[in-house]
Structure 1
Amino acid sequence: MKRKRIVCVALSLMLVLSLAGFTGCGKKSASNGELNIFTWTEYVPESVIEDFEKEYGIKVNWTTFSSNEDMLAKVKTESAGTYDIVQPSDYMVEQMIAQDMLMELDKDVITNIENIDSAFLDPSYDPGNKYSVPYQGGVAAIAVNTDKVSKEITSYDDLFSEDLKGSIVSLDDYRAVIGMTARSMGYSMNETDTDKLAKVEEKLLKLKDNVKVYDSDSPKNSLISGDCTVGYCWAAEIALAQEENPAIKIVFPKEGPYVFMDNWAVLKTAKNSENAMKFINYMLDSETSQKVSEEFPYLNPNAKAVEELGDEYKSNEAKNPPADVIASGEYVSNLDTDTLAIYDAMWTKLKK
């Protein structure tokens, strides 16, 4: 108790500055533990994560991936408990369930599931939403810079035209690109017949000269910059590109598009499962979901949030693809390992 006054003053000043700095950052301490999430790139607003941390006092450790396959491989190679929450697409949910990788969701905590439109519940890949709940979805559509491209483009098949040499930015996703090729030929995106797949490969390789950039993270950048004048990418990316350049138009392919739905799921090895359930419920809150769509305008399955987003969102076909477009499309399904090996070999030849 006999410390010199100058020491006391110094310590007091340090404490005040420390508290001021803490208050200035606007975050609560991680008094309620941590949460490790693994999501798609450019898909969850940082502000939403920060708001969750403030509200719940939970520190979020956030990592991103660029494809379902990358996510699965990373989860399998990292030590158990590295990740709590993942964000798999429809077919990957099915695959992870089959491999006993996902934890059953606690619906007593995830009460905001009632905000989800019934049309997006009880999917074939997870009956009863036992292991997953929908986050956002959409279609893989075609972007066309009408100031630069005179050719009329109406279909996936048009992307293989020699007129488009070196002009396309394409999703860097083998199921999306091979599936699109198959669909352009009247086949399923989930084709397994080896004779048909041989024909798909022959056509697929014709795409090599047309694709200038492969980018699943932010294909809009190539469209906005003018590096590419045509895109095969997520409709939401086209919507964001249109905000910068109204000459960029969206085309829903006449074959019917690749349709997807991404989901929240909790790994069976999660160390922070209680926090994971709280986070998923938070993300299904209509106000939170509205904030997500305002920054990343994908198809939103949260009916309450869609109502709050209003006509600007609901009437924008790039942000909110029409029901008949969705109905005309096809989801990717989980395939057997032998077929996936064929797909992988085709993809390697295309990218070589």
Structure 2
Amino acid sequence: MTMHPRERHNQLSRRDFLVRAAGAAAALSGGGAMLAGCSSSTTAPASTTKKGELLGPGGLPLARPDKRVTLPLWEDPIASGLQPETGGTFTVFNYPAYLYKKLLKDFGKKYKVDVQYTSFDNISSGVQRLASGAVTPDVMEMTPDMLDLAVAGKLIKPLNLDYIPNLKKNVWPELVSPFYDVGSHYTVPYTCYATGIAWRTDKVKQDIAGMTQPWDIFWESQAYKGKVALLSEPRETIAMALLRKGHLNINTEDPKLINQAVADLKELNAICNIKVDDVQYQTIPEGTSWLHQAWSGDMIA
């Protein structure tokens, strides 16, 4: 996601809406809030377009791999042919430690700007901070499930792809115009990864890789109480609970399946005093976590 340095956003007419919407999404289905205090039901009335298409929390059509969405342009992108600004501060808003410091330093040197790296705990809190005006980044990581909120609230600006020629040259064709942002109006792909399990072989005795259903390890982790954690991202935790039960469609809209996934996750409080965070790359090596849901890139790095 990007904003040209010349066009940082000012006060936003829908900022309050975004703060409330992002907060509601986190309270309803966020990893920490869900495990600590969700009700037994997540059923909510579904909004639809005149054509019967489901709408996301921002009021825009809900993107799915089989339901491609072209996001509306709320303003024109910047003009082509502009020279990069120099002498200012270029702010990157992302998860902690997600960009190589040397890369940031080299970028600043090449374009004669001071690069500032500001981090957020998870994507929901990141959007909340963006909406509140607490941070005004030039580029930000964004996930497809939060994208409609950011566009509906005018928190991010449309891209001029003339400045991003490598998008078509180097990126997989299916991501040049992805289902969640047809035409790449607002986004370019940042990374790809797999979600799995990280564990300390000196602490966890089970052969997780040899288990019929490796996700079961979290529900069999009584011996590691206080040392077990999940990612603090709702799409990851709910997807894990669905996959554990054999439900491969992690985009399901079936409230019974979603409610059962939430109920299963809540069991982990009593089983292992489950924790939630997105810093498994620190807690596993440090030994403050022995078993952690994890993103592949973090553990490889």
SS in structure 2 opposite 1:132?
coil
Equivalenced residue count is 209
- Report what 1:35 is aligned to: 90
Deviates more, 1:82-91 or 1:95-104: 95-104
**1:237 CA drift (Å):** 2.3
- Say if 1:36 and 1:84, in contact at 8 Å, map to a contact too: yes
Aligned partner (choices 228, 244, 247) of residue 184 of structure 1: 244
Identity level (%): 22
Quick check: 2:268–2:274 contact (8 Å CA) kept in 1?
A: no
| 1:108 pairs with one of 137, 147, 162 | 162
User: Are 2:220 and 1:175 aligned?
Assistant: no
Asked if the contact 2:280–2:294 (Cα under 8 Å) also holds between the matched residues in 1, the reply is yes
Higher strand fraction: Structure 1 or Structure 2? Answer: 1
Which of 260, 264, 267 is matched with 1:206 structurally?
267
State the 1:205 CA deviation. Answer: 1.4
The answer to whether the Cα contact below 8 Å between 1:162 and 1:210 also exists between their aligned partners in 2 is yes
1:97 is matched by which residue type in structure 2?
V
Amino acid at match of 1:215: D
Q: Give the Cα separation in 1 of the matches to 2:117 and 2:201.
A: 38
Gaps of 5+ in 2: 1-84
The answer as to 2:220 corresponding to 1:161 is: yes
Structure (1 or 2) with the larger CA radius of gyration: 1
1:93 lines up with 2:154 in the alignment = no
Q: Is 1:49 aligned to 2:104, yes or no?
A: yes
Residue number in structure 2 paired with 1:215: 277
1:170 and 1:211 in contact (8 A); partners too: no
- Deviation for aligned residue 1:78: 0.8
CA deviation profile, 1:243-283 (whole Å, cap 9, x unmatched): xxxxxxxxxxxxxxxxxxxxxxxxxxxxxxxxxxxxxxxxx
For the 8 Å contact 1:94–1:125, the answer to whether it is kept is no
Distance 1:73 1:106 in 2: 26
Give the conservation status (yes or no) of the 8 Å contact 1:143–1:230. Answer: yes
Q: Which residue of 2 aligns with 1:194?
A: 255
- CA change 1:172–1:164 in 2 (3 A) is farther
C-alpha distance in structure 1 between counterparts of 2:154 and 2:246, whole Å: 34
CA deviations over 1:103-132 (Å, ceiling 9, x no partner): 221121112222223243221111121211
Residue pairs, 1:176-325, within 5 angstroms: 176-187=236-247, 188-208=249-269, 209-211=271-273, 213-216=275-278, 218-240=279-301
CA-based RMSD of the aligned residues comes to 2.5
Change (3 A) 1:62 1:238: closer
User: How far apart are 1:232 and its partner, in Å?
Assistant: 0.8
In structure 1, runs of 5+ residues without a counterpart are 1-29, 241-352
Change beyond 3 A, Cα 1:164–1:143: farther
Question: TM-score w.r.t. structure 2 length?
Answer: 0.61
- Structure with the higher helix share, 1 or 2: 1
CA distance in 2, matches of 1:112, 1:141: 30
